[in-house]
Amino acid sequence: VQDRLRVRRQPKRASYDSEAIRAVLDEALVCHVGFAQTNGGCDQPFVIPTAFSRAGDRIYVHAARTSRLAAILRGAPVCVEVTLLDGLVMARSAFHHSMNYRSVIAFGVPAEVDGAEKLTALEALVEKVAPGRWPDIRQPSDKELHATAVCALDLSSAVLKQRTGGPIDDPEDMSLRCWAGIVPLSLEKGIGIED
Ligand X SMILES: Cc1cc2nc3c(=O)[nH]c(=O)nc-3n(C[C@H](O)[C@H](O)[C@H](O)COP(=O)(O)OP(=O)(O)OC[C@H]3O[C@@H](n4cnc5c(N)ncnc54)[C@H](O)[C@@H]3O)c2cc1C
Binding residue for ligand X, selected from 15, 67, 83, 120, defined by CB under 6 A: 83
Q: How many residues bind ligand X (CB under 6 A)?
A: 15
The counts of H helices and E strands in the chain are 4, 11
Query: Between 4 and 43, how does the x/- string for binding to ligand X read (CB under 6 A)?
Result: xxxxxx----------------------------------
Maximum CA extent, the chain: 67
Query: Between 151 and 170, how does the x/- string for binding to ligand X read (CB under 6 A)?
Result: --------x-x---------
> Is residue 85 close enough to count as binding ligand X by CB under 6 A?
yes
Residues 95-154 that bind ligand X (CB under 6 A): 99, 101, 103-105
* Phi-psi category of residue 155: left, alpha or beta, with phi > 0 → left and psi -120 to 50 → alpha: alpha
Q: Over the Cα atoms of the chain, what is R_g?
A: 20
Q: Which is nearer to ligand X, 36 or 85 (CB)?
A: 85
Residues 6+ apart with CB under 8 A from 62: 51, 121, 122, 125, 148, 149, 150, 151
Contact 165, 181 (CB under 8 A): no
Q: Which is nearer to ligand X, 103 or 148 (CB)?
A: 103
- The CB-of-70 to ligand X minimum distance in angstroms stands at 25
- Provide the binding-site residues for ligand X, judged by CB under 6 A: 4-9, 83, 85, 99, 101, 103-105, 159, 161
